[in-house]
Chain A
Amino acid sequence: MKFVEEFRDKELAAGLVRRIEEALGDRRVSLMEVCGTHTMSIQRYGLKSLLPKNLRLLSGPGCPVCVTPNEQVDLAIAYAMTEGVILATFGDMAKVPGSSTTLLKAKAAGGRMQIVYSTMDAVKLAESNPDKKIVFFGIGFEPTAPTVAASILEAERKGISNYFVVSAAKVVPPPMEALLQGEVQIDGFICPGHVSVVIGSGAYRKIAEVHRVPCVVAGFEPTDVLQAIEMLVRQVRDGRSEVENQYTRVVHEEGNVAARGIMDRVFEPRDAKWRGIGVIPGSGLGIRPGYARFNAEVQLPVVPEKTVENERCICGLVLKGVKEPTDCALFGKECAPENPVGACMVSGEGACAAYYKYR
Chain B
Amino acid sequence: MCLAIPMKLIEADGPFGKVEIEGVKRKVSLQLLPDAEVGDYVLVHAGFAIERINEEEAKKTLQLLTELALAQEAEEQ
Could you tell me which A residues sit within 8 Å of B by CB distance? 1-4, 6-7, 9, 11-12, 14-16, 18-19, 35-37, 62-65, 90, 92, 117-121, 139-141, 143-144, 146-147, 150, 153-154, 192, 194-195, 197-198, 223, 227, 246, 248-251, 256, 258-259, 262, 347, 349
Contacts and interface: CB of A to CB of B under 8 A. Distances in A.
Given A15-B72, A64-B1, A118-B29, A249 B57 contact: yes
Chain B interface residue number, banded? 35 or more
B14 to A, nearest CB: 12
Interface of B: 1-4, 6, 8, 21-22, 29, 31-35, 41, 43, 45-48, 50-55, 57-58, 60-62, 65-66, 68-69, 72-73
16 contacts: A1-B21, A4-B6, A64-B1, A146-B32, A146-B50, A147-B32, A150-B48, A197-B4, A197-B43, A248-B60, A250-B43, A258-B33, A259-B32, A262-B31, A347-B1, A349-B2
Contacts of B1: 36, 63-65, 90, 92, 139-141, 144, 347, 349
Contacts of A144: 1-2, 45-46
A148 B1 CA distance: 14
Given A3-B53, A6-B62, A150-B29, A119 B47 contact: yes
> A interface, by DSSP: helix, strand, loop or mixed?
helix
A216 to B, nearest CB: 13
